[in-house]
Amino acid sequence: MNWKRALEEYRNYLVLEKAHANNTIEAYLGDLKKLAEFCLSDLEIKDCTKLSSENIRLFIINLHEQAASSKSQARILSSLNSFYKYLKLEDCITLNPFSKIDHPSIPRKLPETLSKEEIDTIIDSVDLSGKFGERNRTILETLYSCGLRVSELINLQCSRLFLDEGFLIVIGKGSKERLIPLNKTLITYIKDYLGLNRSHQNIASGHEDFVFLNNRGKQLTRVMIYTILKKEAIKAGIHKKISPHTFRHSFASHLLNGGADLRAIQSLLGHESISTTEVYLHIDRRFVRDEIIAHHPRK
């Protein structure tokens, strides 16, 4: 099977059967194209089903020579492994050539978090007299109170808000829905925003159901969320390097510090594997260590 045909069929598989987001699909295919180009130009392998473990090792050496980081190599090899698992599933190959390949180890980097006081300071610093003050405050509180990914935030829909019942529904990775409870503070903020700000906007056609809109009445972008957060953090005097994901990490670590069950946090974050959520155990241990160093008399 030639590379072009294989990648086209794999794209259809990712769209129709795996229901991956466009960004995820393009990332997978981008990694596969690196392998295809290497095989065609350096190894003269035109049939993707003829790849051997030794060919893959040569490709890894090529990645080293291009100064690809361990993280990039691990991501690329994971993408390629998934592709060859698909080929085996389709009976195109009998043995996955990646089964004998060791993936590079990646140092675990703990995510940056903010304290509850820092979160409160940023949210309280929002100027509610401004045109989009209510919106910006609601965005920040939603990120923190619900632990949403930025993509989930910008795609949040009014039809999935159940304020009287006290929950909302988000569409996460793989188009999976999850229900997230709302606290009283966030419910109040959302109602204020919808009533005082959004209801007076001219909303663009096709954007009527999106909760958060820009000044043209259209769905906000990821970049705009980053811009809003950076602006409000600077105004609040918070100089850490933060992003919308920092609020998500803070949401999870604060729940864990407060005694929440790890499985419950996994469900709220929409993690497919508990191992992804377990990173917050390391944050919790780091917090305990810092508290001992700061407050124990035997320093």
Out of 198, 248, 249, 254, pick the active-site residue. Answer: 248
- The residue assigned the tokens 């009014």 is 158
On the 0-12 / 13-18 / 19+ scale of CB atoms within 10 A, 140 is buried
- Known active-site residue 280: yes
Determine the residue type at 127. Answer: D
- Known active-site residue 245: yes
- Known active-site residue 173: yes
Out of 34, 75, 88, 173, pick the active-site residue. Answer: 173
- Known active-site residue 271: yes
- Known active-site residue 50: no
Out of 20, 135, 137, 149, pick the active-site residue. Answer: 149
Nearest partner of 35 among 22, 23, 47, judged by Cα: 47
Out of 88, 178, 230, 271, pick the active-site residue. Answer: 271
- Known active-site residue 149: yes
The catalytic residue positions are 149, 173, 245, 248, 271, 280
